[in-house]
Each structure stands twice: as structure tokens, then as C-alpha cells.
Amino acid sequence: MRLTRGPRRRLKPDGAVVRTPEEARIWSNFRAFKAGITGEKGEASVREALEALRVPALHDVILRDGRGLTQIDHVVRAPDAVLVLETKRYAGIVSGAIDGRAWVQRFDESAERFTLPNPLRQNYQHRRAVEELIADRAVLVRTHVVAAGSAVFEGELADTIVPVTALASLLGGTPPVSQRWLDAAWCKLQMAAERSLQLREAHRQQVERRPG
């Protein structure tokens, strides 16, 4: 019996697959579902790593920002600062510019390319929300994107993304002369974390209303 191949995929010059509107809708829904599962696994691995380091941390915190509500994966109290961590569980090879709007993900066995929103830009908005809540310029707020997957980051991204196995390297800062500022800031963040449960449904609805 002779086997026949299905139609070949049409590719754009940049390697992206050309899909019909219906194919694009189905693929978008599948990727969103898969990203949700992947994200939960990545956040869980970072949470476990922080617990092993015995560092004060808050997880899945929802804060108000200039656009409504924003969800932050992890907020950590380091000796010298408040850390805002965004977790990504990517695979394949990821390239792009630190200040670019999007990055590109590819896999060795495929010519297809995927566009990823730049998580550094996303985490900048998280930092702004934390700073507005703390309302104290004496408290340093640092942001980091943590890689909890198997992805290889190319170019300038290689020195920017923090592997989950290197989280301890973020906690080596020198404490300020007085911890009162950090104490007050952390108290505000703990109270905000307790209120997150009440805001979760409103945040979910906000995300659903965003254009795809």
C-alpha cells in the first residue's frame, strides 16, 4: 500500500507557519491551555527552590497597577531589596533583544518559529506596581526573569535570564544599615498578598477581555 503525505505547510519568509483563521484560533487556544499548565509547573519549581533556601517569599500576588490588576509570580525579601520574579518554563532555543517587544522561540527539529512576549518588559510593569504599593524610594526593588525550563537562551539573553538553579545568587546583597524600611515594605506586601484571593476573579476577567 502506498502512503501519501498530507499537504505541506506553507511558511512565511521568517519561518512562521501560514494558517487559516480557524487553524489560528484552534492553535491559539491550544497554546494558551498548554502555557497555563507549563506556567504552573514552572512557578511550583521556583516556589520549591525558594522554600529550600528558606527565604521569605510571597507567591501569585495580585496588585493594582495603572492598567487595572497585575499578577506577580513571586515576591521575595532579599537581604538588601525586594525581588520581583517572573517565571518562564520555555523549551527550545530562545533569542531576542533585552529591550525588544518580543522574542523568538525555535526548535532544532522544526522550521517553525514562535513569538514570545518579552517577559522582561512584563516584569517591569510588575516592578512599578510593587514600587507604587511600597511608596518608599529607600527600598530597592529588583526584577528578574527565572528560567524553570530546558530552553537555551542566545546572545544577550544568556546573561540576563536566571536559571532556577541559580536563585541563591540573587540573595547575596549587603543588608542596609537599617532594616526598618524593608520591614515596612514587606508588611505592605504581605497584606496585599492576603487580599489577592479577593482580586483573583476580577483579574481573570480582565485577562479574558484582553485582545488576543
- 136-145 pLDDT tens trace: 999 999 999 9
Of the two residues 110 and 71, the one the predictor is more confident about is: 71
Residues 69 and 63 sit within 8 Å (Cβ to Cβ): yes
Of the two residues 41 and 35, the one the predictor is more confident about is: 41
Task: Name every residue whose Cβ is closer than 8 Å to that of residue 139 and which is 6 or more positions away in sequence.
Answer: 81, 82, 181, 182, 185
Say yes or no to pLDDT of 37 above 50. no
Q: What is the pTM of this model?
A: 0.79
Share of the chain above pLDDT 70, in %: 79
Q: How confident is the model at residue 3, as a pLDDT? A: 41
Residues 69 and 62 sit within 8 Å (Cβ to Cβ): yes
- Identify the band that residue 5 occupies on the pLDDT scale cut at 50, 70 and 90: very low
Q: How confident is the model at residue 22, as a pLDDT? A: 67
- Identify the band that residue 25 occupies on the pLDDT scale cut at 50, 70 and 90: low
CATH of range 21-209; options 3.90.350, 3.30.310, 2.20.200, 3.40.1350: 3.40.1350
- Identify the band that residue 109 occupies on the pLDDT scale cut at 50, 70 and 90: confident
Separation CA 112–CA 9 (nearest Å): 10
